[in-house]
Structure 1
Amino acid sequence: MKMLVDSANISEIESLLDSLPIDGVTTNPALIAGEKRPFKQQIKEIRRLLPDHLPLHAQIIGKDCAGMMEQAKDLHDWLDGNVWIKIPVTKEGLRAIQQLSKENFRITGTAVYTAAQAVLAAKAGAGYVAPYVNRIDNEFGDGAGTVKTIVGLFSMYGFHCKVLAASFKHKGQILSVMEAGSHEATISPALFGKLASISRYRPGY
């Protein structure tokens, strides 16, 4: 399973790239806002930091299809290389995913809570879907089970879409999505540190 780091902090990303086998970066406007720097400047610096072969998944915040498409095109213009645009899997988001995928934008359907959402995103043209594991655990009770169902459906129906599991509270959830067959996972710097620890595993840690 590929492991990406979920961060907008340059020093954290750089440190992890130097010390662990990181497979890319995901970020979002809230993480970037926490860095107290202009969005465009920060996102471009993150992309410059990454080797060309590693992806950056970057999220937009538009509320309707037109706004999402405009922001996606701006983001694509700012960044060179291996970039995926994260778009929430809502009715408006699915409209944007369909149209942008036809224009060869690489799309990650994010804020996924159900297998049905994931299938709709894949049918609309998304190359990745990001189920929110901890939030699913809190609201429905089985985040890893949802990941397993999505992986199985994608395989059954031949969708060329991968699962990028997201939203983890503890490393037990990460192990669970590994066992569920998630293709990739995006993990906070703090949890990466715990994964690398040799301390004895306890549920919830």
Structure 2
Amino acid sequence: MEPIAPMALHLLLDSADVNAWDAWLPTGLFAGVTTNPTLLKRAAQPCRLEHLHGLADRALAHGVQELHLQAWGSDLVGCGRALAAIAPERIWVKLPITRHGLDAARTLQQEGCRITLTACYEPQQVLLAAALGVDYIAPYLGRISDLGRDGHAELIQMQRCIDALGSTLRLLVASLRGPSDLPRLAAEGLNTFTISPAIAEGLFSVEATEAAAAQFERDAL
């Protein structure tokens, strides 16, 4: 399997709300979608394999290149295998970075599945992901900060570890709390983010820009 090609900025939409998909995916800003059982529950979507088939079809109809679906249950390998089979070239199986999750990731990876490790809270977990050779690991920026730590500094350290190792692993920054998180981390070389529809909307909420655009329209009359 070829590694993911480097790119300047890589945005994924963090939502299981199909209305949000319909609103945001046609903009061309997002390469794909990330979901998990919590997002499915929040969007009143059943966390069932047969239902995820339909959701995947809807996402892929928007032309997304990546759909990250999280495996669950005692048999992570079996669930992950079933998720990957929905669209092998476009599905990334998400697994928690626990011992059970890593064991499943290794097995699925050997079968050719694309893997995203998730629920990352510590820099050393990035080293585990790099050693395994998976595509992505998703550190939870906001939740790390909620623990009284400097989430931005820790994610920057994670990225420096990856760069120093020459690894192809990509940090998929999750749990952002506001639009300002993106430029702060991008300035330090982080380039892959999964963001909620609310934060996507916030990226356009610049009062001075809105005022200037309104002035242009008034002056055009």
Give the alignment's TM-score, normalised by structure 1. 0.87
Matched, 1:91 2:99: yes
- The 2-side partners of 1:140 and 1:60 are apart by 29
Partner of 2:53: 44
In structure 2, the residue matched to 1:107 is 115
How many residues align? The count is 198
1:78 aligns to what SS in structure 2? coil
**How has the CA–CA distance of structure 1 residues 35 and 79 changed in structure 2, closer, same or farther, with 3 Å as cutoff?**
farther
Stretch deviating more after TM superposition (33-42 or 154-163): 33-42
**CA displacement, residues 60-97 of structure 1 (integer Å, 9 cap, x when unaligned):** 1235xxx1111101112233531101111111111122
What displacement does 1:140 show?
4.4
- Alignment partner of 2:73 out of 62, 85, 96: 62
Residue 133 of structure 2 aligns with which residue?
Answer: 125
Consecutive unaligned residues of structure 2, counting only runs of 5 or more, are: 1-8, 209-221
Tell me how far 1:7 sits from its aligned partner: 0.5
Query: Is 1:129–1:161's contact at 8 Å kept on the other side of the alignment?
Result: yes
* Partners of 2:10 and 2:52 in 1: CA distance: 22
TM-score, with structure 2 as normaliser? 0.81
**CA shift in 2, pair 1:118/1:74, >3 Å:** same
- CA deviation profile, 1:101-141 (whole Å, cap 9, x unmatched): 12221100100011100110121231101000001111142
Structure whose alpha-carbon radius of gyration is higher: 2
Q: Partner amino acid for 1:5?
A: L
Q: Percent identity?
A: 30
Contact 2:56/2:86 (<8 A) preserved:
no
| Residue 79 (1) aligns with residue 87 (2) | yes
Q: Deviations over 1:137-175 (max 9, x none)?
A: 111422222221121111111212111100012222233
How big is the alpha-carbon RMSD for the aligned residues of Structure 1 and Structure 2? Answer: 2.1
2:30 matches 1:19? no
Following the alignment from structure 2 to structure 1, what is the Cα–Cα distance between the partners of residues 30 and 51? 20
Structure 1 distance, partners of 2:70, 2:188, is 25
User: Residues 131 and 166 of structure 1 are in contact (CA less than 8 Å); yes or no, is this contact kept in structure 2?
Assistant: yes
> Per-residue deviation at 1:18?
2.1
The answer for unaligned runs of 5 or more in structure 1 is: 201-205
